[in-house]
Amino acid sequence: MNKTILNDLAVFGGSPAFPEPLHVGRPNACHRERFLKRVNDLLDRRWLTNQGPFVTEFEQRVAEFLGVRHCVAMCNGTTALEIAIRAAGLSGEVIVPAFTFISTAHALKWQGVTPVFCDVDPRTHHIDPSRLEGLITERTTGVIGVHLWGRPCAVEALEEITRKRRLKLLFDAAHAFGNSHQGRRIGSFGDAEVFSFHATKFFHTLEGGAVVTNDDGLARVLRLMHNMGFSGYDQVVCAGTNAKMNEISAAMGLTMFESLEAILAINQRHYRHYERELSEIPGLQLMRYDEGERNNYQYIVLDIDEPKAGISRDQLVVILHKENVLARRYFYPGCHQMEPYRSDPFYGGLHLPVTDHLAGRLLILPTGEALQPDQVTGICRIIRWVMDHAPEIAQRLSKNTEGGK
């Protein structure tokens, strides 16, 4: 793992530091015996989906855990967003950040609503409330804030603007399960909040998601819409789709709850480890969490300031990948630079300087239960070594790229 000369780097022909890839988003394991026991139970019961007992229990656990009145469990986070959008009656235009996973924008588009991209605050990486009002038109019906990296976005400012302008407010809380804002768990802000329980989330149900809300009327519509509008046998009261969570996913969710504290402790330990190892390196900054709040620490976000670091984020990603550290460029490029938005004339001339700036310099490192402390040490050792030799490495990499042209 030790690198002493440039040629020791895998990118220049050396051996990779790790024999197997280290992934961002490697699923956390649950207590296998308890999960398999639940799977056996549901098979014995022959109740596999359609609001089975595990889904009902899972919904109750989530609602209790978050301190919210209603939880409707769904088959994934993207569909949960779509249903929240429909159930809340969003139409026309809805304002969202472009610095997010593409699902946030696509969920609107898929429902025939136009996402209007707002730039983000460079400090928080969240939708910038000071830019919001300038984007509101007579077609605007709502705002979707994203608690990116699990850090709460400007909840109060968004609530104030949307209340004043009579707009709906949803939150994409895909990253924020278990986290808090001013001591209150994320989940009960706005009209509704949406979680993802995808396998790559620290708390998962294989695939899965949920919409949570304190609004009884909205909860009723969400429940109808996620099951084809059925209100009982042979009775359909509105248009709907099939977005139900199945019993195996709920069994996984219930089992994950039993490991939640242990996984949070591992994530926090890894985060502190990275913090110790990567502090005071010129040009590198590890994103901080508000230590006064609950945090799931599921994203290790590193900011690379190329002029100070002497190497670009993209060069560092190439180096790490060759060493079998599959760091990710979340969220590059911003949604506005992806199709169908990029070539849609509606977005012609759209300039989101902060989004583009962040998308060009952030890097996400592996964490989670599958990662061992000595692997964190190894990842940091490579990064530090690269930073110590950044100008020479960057120069050689650019030469190689030019030579390859």
* Cβ distance to ligand T4K smaller for residue 174 or 316: 174
**Which residues from 45-104 bind ligand T4K, rule CB under 6 A?**
76-78, 100-101, 103-104
CA distance linking residue 76 with residue 195, whole number of Å: 9
Looking at the Cβ atoms of 3 and 106, the one nearer to ligand T4K is 106
Helix (H) or strand (E) holding 36: helix 32-45
What's the order of all strands across the beta sheet hosting 70-74?
70-74, 209-213, 192-196, 168-172, 140-146, 93-97, 114-118
Of 220 and 329, which has the nearer Cβ to ligand T4K? 329
What residues form DSSP beta bridges with 364?
301, 328
Looking at beta carbons only, is 55 or 309 nearer to ligand T4K?
A: 55
User: What are the start-end ranges of the E strands in 220-377?
Assistant: 230-232, 235-236, 284-286, 300-304, 325-326, 362-365
DSSP-derived letter for residue 207 is S
By DSSP bridging, strand 180-181 and strand 184-185 are: antiparallel
H/E segment holding residue 145: strand 140-146
Q: Write down the residue that tokens 């959008």 correspond to.
A: 85
Coil/strand/helix, residue 74:
strand
Closest approach of ligand T4K to the CB of residue 76, in Å: 4
Contact track, ligand T4K, 269-308, x by CB under 6 A: ----------------------------------------
| Range 319-338, binding ligand T4K (CB under 6 A) | 326, 330
* 246 contacts ligand T4K (rule: CB under 6 A): no
In the complex with ligand T4K, which residue's Cβ is closer, 193 or 356?
193
Rule CB under 6 A: choose which of 49, 91, 200, 241 binds ligand T4K: 200
Residues between 132 and 191 with contacts to ligand T4K, criterion CB under 6 A: 146, 172, 174-175
# residues contacting ligand T4K (CB under 6 A): 23
Taking the least distance from each CB to ligand T4K, the nearer of 146 and 354 is 146
Report whether 189 contacts 155 (CB < 8 A): yes
Measured from the CB atom, is 329 or 396 closer to ligand T4K?
329
Q: Identify which of residues 173 and 393 has a Cβ nearer to ligand T4K in the complex.
A: 173
Crossing angle of helices 373-388 and 247-278, in 10° steps, is: 40
- Residue 27, interface with ligand T4K (CB under 6 A)? yes
Considering only 97, 115, 152, 209, the residue that binds ligand T4K (CB under 6 A) is: 209
| Cα 63 from Cα 220, distance rounded (Å) | 15
Please identify which residue in the block is written with the tokens 């209790």: 64
Residue nearest to ligand T4K (CB): 77
Q: Residue 370 CB, nearest distance to ligand T4K (Å)?
A: 8
Out of 1, 39, 136, 199, name the contact with ligand T4K by CB under 6 A: 199
Euclidean distance between CA atoms 287 and 25, whole angstroms: 18
Contact 153, 178 (CB under 8 A): no
Does 14 interact with ligand T4K (rule: CB under 6 A)? Answer: no
115 binds ligand T4K (CB under 6 A): no
Q: In the complex, which residues of this chain contact ligand T4K (CB under 6 A)?
A: 23-27, 76-78, 100-101, 103-104, 146, 172, 174-175, 196, 198-200, 209, 326, 330
